[in-house]
Amino acid sequence: MKIFHDGVIYVQIKDINYLKKMGQKIPESVLRKYKRKFTFFYGKVEGEYFVDFRDFDAIRFFEGFDYIVDFTEYNQKSIVELNALANDLLEKLIESNVNKIGERRYQDIEYKMNSIIQIIAIKRGTALLEIPYES
């Protein structure tokens, strides 16, 4: 997930790992910050840590991925709305197959759906998310 706050974008390590795994070209400035000694990471589980990015290019880079869910935007929705969004994505996965939409797009949809499910769990209190700027 990503969180925008006061001109800073916070991105979870697992999202950057996903981009790397999928072969996405990542700006060198993002990789340098990602590779540092976890000075700017927040959270309790490694993949849940956030990295903060303040430069315009990094912010613009991460804005371009709709499958990396904007926590602030989705957290404002009700659990019913989130369930409907997750179900829509699930139906899209069921109706199409990897051959129809391509493996990359299929995995991106699945990734987004799983992030929405995580937000539902956070809203229900069955999962935690440490908001980086509140730490």
What is the band of 35 on the pLDDT scale with cuts at 50, 70, 90? confident
Per-residue confidence (pLDDT) for residue 120, from 0 to 100: 97
Please, what's the b/e burial string for 22-41 (b: 16 or more CB within 10 A of its CB; e: otherwise)?
eeeeeeeebeebbeeeeeeb
Q: How far is CA 69 from the centre of its chain?
A: 4
Per-residue confidence (pLDDT) for residue 32, from 0 to 100: 87
Q: Parse the chain into domains and list their residue ranges.
A: 2-63, 71-134
pLDDT of residue 43 exceeding 90, the answer is no
Contacts of residue 98, Cβ cutoff 8 Å, sequence gap at least 6: 106
pLDDT of residue 34 exceeding 50, the answer is yes
Task: Tokens 């490694």: give the residue.
Answer: 46
Q: 113 or 100, which is more confident? A: 113
Per-residue confidence (pLDDT) for residue 46, from 0 to 100: 57
Mean pLDDT of 105-132: 93
Mean pLDDT of 79-83: 98
> Could you report the per-residue pLDDT of 1-20, keeping only the tens digit for each?
999 999 999 999 899 989 99
Per-residue confidence (pLDDT) for residue 63, from 0 to 100: 93
Cβ atoms of 11 and 31 within 8 Å: the answer is no
pLDDT of residue 93 exceeding 50, the answer is yes
